[in-house]
Structure 1
């Protein structure tokens, strides 16, 4: 008999593809097929939080389908599991569509756009009770021809599918492999949390701390737009970890609503999952603001030979910047001279 986890993954693959690919007409019926009447939807700024079919249709799907009328969904990771009694399905991928009408005030280009997403959906009695969706809105702004912040240290690119080319998990997975993958992730995250930034050991401290025992020599870290992609532990430290940990030393992590393993894949996420104070410079090219911030983050991992081979990291950069007194949308409007 097919497991509940596998049935849930098939359900999410089906309903989300229909939501994206069915056009604006009939969107209310498709949302009703997917969601409980009072379902919660929470996601990237400026969409943020809402409840119920009407809000999800009016604020999320109708504008998206109007702006990208030929929209289609392309999952690269589809995984699931249970955490603290909640049945969850996670996905990474991108929407592809022709940008024909302004979206979230971003000017249309008439060209194909890739919209990255990381998602977790909680399933209750056969329908979605809560969706958490991090869309890389900043990357759409980049593709539309405007760059509102300092240059990324990493490489800006479309995230690839897993190197193993098997991220759509629609067969039963070995529970032992799933548990081992999640344990590897949580042990690595614990090593990051135990490291004392205030010892100020710099680059060498990060390269030699216990995290090095968990990462594959050819590790890939796929960060959100604004940070970019890095390769190897040195690239991860140089282009993300050192600037990030300098800016937010000894920030607090955890607060997870999801910790799941499914075959070689594992995932964690919180809403928010990181709290810190912005006291150091150079992260996203910014001087320290002294402000308290929270971060909406997800992590998806692929294990290989007992090491973490790849890590996809959806993060709501626009929401984080807003807390640091940078309004990306206001900068964009000024650039495009909107409203004149």
Structure 2
């Protein structure tokens, strides 16, 4: 089974001039975005107007998780995202786990994994508060230009929050639920990589592994046992560390080892979405930064919901698109860890499952 080599980035872009920045510039960009986001959260609603205007373009384009979704402009950013967040979690704090920077084509970007912690005091998105401390798993990619953020992609795991309040609208996850771990044996926040070749090699490894996923043994497998065997002996196996961890979104959960990854996510996902195109639109972000890399698509995966193996809902052959990010940690020549936020509520909405109606 040969891995095809093809462009995984956004389609339809012509005459794009690739930007190249120095490792020092990249490190400073990461520090800058980290400071922006920390100040907004820690200085709170009293400084919100000042901070949003200081750090973001007036016409900021925001791409959020369902049901917040997509909009433009600082005022919308305030009223649709930040103000409700502060009202519901008045003692909000931010803790970072991973910060990755770099350039993709003509864009300078910084991606982050963080946890927003606070006491859940007021209804948020229709989710009833439990008056307890909760942890919001938050993954973001920000494009910066002239020291301001001009476009943001934000995925908060709302399903995880629902589970934390003691409500379980989905069947039990195949994988393990709970907080994602920090990168093993390394600092994912303050690192500085001065050799661009290291960053490039790790991004190339992630992209080659992703291209291997286009090899689809589910199309001719005779049983679950046969498909599992083919996925464990799939070309992807070359890229995963023996002690790999795949950190999935709530509803899917976290898996350990390639076998765990196949059992808990890949096998049911591939059986449900046999008809799928990973790169019909392509990635809007592909970054390599030292031992880390990042890829992301906004509606890049297009698929047909064809069976109940994934999350258990009745198949209806609806077409869906997926909002997804992949953060990778490369270690000992392999992919050691993979953090994968997916907008589960958005996928379910497209197959006529409204998770927010279910929990009322």
TM bucket normalised to smaller: over 0.9
Say if 2:341 is the partner of 1:314.
yes
Distance 1:197 1:84 in 2: 34
Q: Which residue of 2 aligns with 1:211?
A: 236
Q: Which residue of 2 aligns with 1:249?
A: 274
Shift of 1:196: 4.2
1:171 to 1:30, Cα distance in 2 relative to 1, 3 A = same
Q: Which residue of 2 aligns with 1:32?
A: 53
Q: Does the aligned pair in 2 maintain the 1:79–1:169 contact within 8 Å?
A: no
Secondary structure of the equivalent of 1:284? coil
Distance 1:234 1:212 in 2: 10
Q: Does the aligned pair in 2 maintain the 1:266–1:301 contact within 8 Å?
A: yes
CA deviation string 1:48-88 (max 9, x = no partner): 01111100001100000111111011110001010011000
1:181 to 1:169, Cα distance in 2 relative to 1, 3 A = farther
Q: Which residue of 2 aligns with 1:161?
A: 182
After superposition, residues 1-340 of structure 1 pair within 5 angstroms as 3-200=24-221, 201-254=226-279, 255-333=282-360
CA deviation string 1:253-312 (max 9, x = no partner): 131000110000001001112100011221001232111000000000001111100000
Q: Which stretches of structure 1, 4 residues or longer, exceed 6 Å deviation after superposition?
A: none
Distance 1:45 1:214 in 2: 32
Secondary structure of the equivalent of 2:67? coil
Aligned length: 333
Distance 2:138 2:286 in 1: 18
Q: Does the aligned pair in 1 maintain the 2:155–2:342 contact within 8 Å?
A: yes
Secondary structure of the equivalent of 2:284? strand
Q: Does the aligned pair in 1 maintain the 2:239–2:334 contact within 8 Å?
A: yes
CA deviation string 1:136-195 (max 9, x = no partner): 011111111101111110010100110123101452442111111101101100111133
Q: Does the aligned pair in 2 maintain the 1:78–1:168 contact within 8 Å?
A: yes
Q: Does the aligned pair in 2 maintain the 1:215–1:233 contact within 8 Å?
A: yes
- Note the residue ranges of structure 1 that are not aligned, 5 or more in a row: 334-340
Distance 2:275 2:26 in 1: 36
Distance 1:280 1:108 in 2: 34
Secondary structure of the equivalent of 2:201? helix
Structure 2-normalised TM-score?
0.90
Q: Does the aligned pair in 2 maintain the 1:195–1:209 contact within 8 Å?
A: no
Structure 1-normalised TM-score?
0.95
- Note the residue ranges of structure 2 that are not aligned, 5 or more in a row: 1-21
* Deviation larger for 163-172 or 149-158: 163-172
Cα RMSD of the aligned pairs, angstroms, is 1.2
